[in-house]
Amino acid sequence: MPTIIDGKKTSQDIKNEIAARVAEIKAEGGKTPHLAAVLVGNDGASQTYVGAKVKACEQVGFESTLVRLEESVSESELLRVVEDINNNPEIDGLIVQLPLPKHISVERVTDKIKPEKDVDGFTPANVGRMTLHWPAYVAATPYGIVELLKRYEIETSGKHCVVIGRSHIVGSPMSILMARNSYPGNATVTLTHSRTKNLAEITKTADILIVAIGKPEFVTADMVKEGAVVIDVGIHRIEDSSKKSGFRLIGDVKFDEVSQKASAITPVPGGVGPMTIASLLYNTLLAAEGKIY
Ligand code: GUN
């Protein structure tokens, strides 16, 4: 049986560590870390994610501010909101939940966020710093995966790491982190995407396979090498009338068959997902303590 990489437990461990540090800061009379989240519109998934982030702030003793804006808000108004938060000394970290409505430029909004408060690690400054291996806020999902690899002591040096998916949020930064010359890195990395030819031939050579393609159960057992470590970033709601909720969650990996071959694997739910919030909290703590800039 493979090791099941338990993101739920690991994220709880991290939240406990953060809560302990917050308690120390408060006891020393220091400033309580404060995260601001901006949510535009009524997208159901975004509301769920932002709600979970705000709740997680409460759990570790952070302050949080949720700014909700109408779907119809103008780009200039959103930029003004970001600027106000940039200039508010009470707030340490700022996230603007994506996706944004089509009439708003993600680039202009992201570029407006002060890098010192960019706890999502999405600004060009932080992506550049991460790439240079300078102190940086690293995007929550890749950072969460790095933390899982560390805490499960997964050997990465000299291994072949295949990443499926080249998004700015996951695949691309993941490939950079895995190639860096520190643990968990030093891997030989292949970044694959929708135009990759003979994908299965490549994935079959992966010692570590990180899947962030956004297609339900895309990776099947025949695409995986015996003993591989498999990290599944996908999360999809599938209707299932046998469940009380009427749905179940599945990943980008066909868990039942791939887990027969893997040496370690993340489940969905309870794998990478919970780690993203823990990483965001950790970045906010770093921001509050002035540890990056
Ligand atoms: N939308 C999906 N993932 C994320 C994330 O990590 N941060 C933000 N701001 N929006 C997202």
Q: Could you read off the pLDDT of 15-50 as tens digits, one per residue?
A: 999 999 999 999 999 999 999 999 999 999 999 999
Q: List every span in the chain annotated with CATH 3.40.50.720.
A: 140-273
Residue 215 confidence (pLDDT): 97
- Give the residue, by CA position, lying nearest to ligand 1 atom 2: 98
**pTM to 2 decimal places:** 0.96
- Domain 140-273 is classified in which CATH homologous superfamily? NAD(P)-binding Rossmann-like Domain (3.40.50.720)
| Mutate which of 98, 117, 279 for ligand 1 pocket (most atoms within 8 A of beta carbon) | 98
Compute φ and ψ for 152, nearest 5 degrees: -95, 10
Asked if omega into 274 is within 30° of 0 (cis), the reply is: no
List strand residue ranges (DSSP E) for the chain, in order. 3-4, 34-40, 63-69, 93-96, 160-164, 188-192, 208-211, 229-232, 236-239, 247-250, 264-265
For residue 227, the CA-to-ligand 1 centroid distance in Å is 32
Among 146, 142, 194, smallest CA distance to 170 is for: 142
CA angle (271 as vertex; 270, 272 as ends), nearest 5: 125
pLDDT digits (tens, 9 = 90+) for 241-252: 999 999 999 999
147 lines ligand 1 (CB under 6 A): no
Low-confidence ranges of the chain (pLDDT < 70): none
The CATH class, in words, for 28-114 is alpha beta
> What pLDDT is recorded for position 256?
98
Tell me how far the alpha carbon of residue 143 lies from the centroid of ligand 1, in angstroms. Answer: 13
Cβ–ligand 1 contact at 82 (below 6 Å): no
Closest ligand 1 atom number to CA of residue 98: 10
Residue from 6, 118, 120, 252 carrying the catalytic annotation: 120
- The ipTM estimated for the assembled molecules is 0.95
Nearest CA to ligand 1 atom 3: 98
53 is catalytic: yes
- CA–CA gap between residue 242 and residue 60 (Å, rounded): 35
pLDDT at 220 (0 to 100): 98
| Residue 118 CB less than 6 A away from ligand 1 | no
Whole-number pLDDT of residue 157: 98
153 Cα: distance to centroid of ligand 1 (angstroms): 27
What pairs with residue 68 in β-bridges?
39
φ, ψ for residue 151 (rounded to 5)?
Answer: -70, -20
Which tokens belong to 79? 């930029």
- Residue 54: its pLDDT value, please? 98
Please, what's the b/e burial string for 219-245 (b: 16 or more CB within 10 A of its CB; e: otherwise)? beeebbbeebbbbbbbbeeeeeeeeee
pLDDT for residue 38: 98
Dihedrals phi, psi of 71, to nearest 5 degrees: -50, -35
Q: What is the pLDDT of residue 202?
A: 99
